[in-house]
Structures are given as C-alpha cells and as structure tokens.
Amino acid sequence: MATREEVVTGLAEILEEVAGVNPDDVSEEKSFTEDLDVDSLSMVEVVVAAEEKFGAKIPDDEVQNLKTVGDAVSFIVANS
C-alpha cells in the first residue's frame, strides 16, 4: 500500500502531465482549482489517471469532495 508521501509524488507526476503543474508546487494543503489552476475537466483527467496509478476506485460523486491534494491523498490511501 502506498504511503501519503508516495501518493503526493504520484499525484504531482499526474498533475504535471495532465495540466502542466510544476511538481514543486504540489503539496497536501494546495487546492486543485484555487492554487494549482486545475479546471473541472483536468480534474476528471487527474481522477482517471489516479485510478490507474493507484488502483483506487474514485466514484463520480466523490470527485467534488476532493478540494485539496490532501483530500485526494486521504481518499486514495483509504481506498486502494
């Protein structure tokens, strides 16, 4: 099972590929939309890529609750 740090690093890689986010800017307290400029469609791409990378199932209804990188890390760690 992945640790929180591993998931943050993995998400940073995904964010760089999907939305051109600088990996150094990615940390748990950052908001996807406010701080990292990830729009709703990029967020869906991040979710699809994260499911593949971490083997977690992230339901449609859950996506809106993932406001910060930390929210996503917690969900992935608990569900993969």
- Residues serving a catalytic function are 39
| Token representation of residue 56 | 């977690």
Applying the rule CB under 8 A, the residues between 6 and 65 that interact with another protein are 17-18, 39-41, 44-45, 47-48, 51, 60
**Closest Cα to residue 16, out of 61, 40, 57, 49?**
49
DSSP state letter for 31: B
Applying the rule CB under 6 A, the residues between 37 and 56 that interact with ligand COA are 40-41
| Token representation of residue 70 | 């930390």
Positions that interact with ligand COA (CB under 6 A):
40-41
**Chain residues in the site for another protein (CB under 8 A):** 17-18, 39-41, 44-45, 47-48, 51, 60
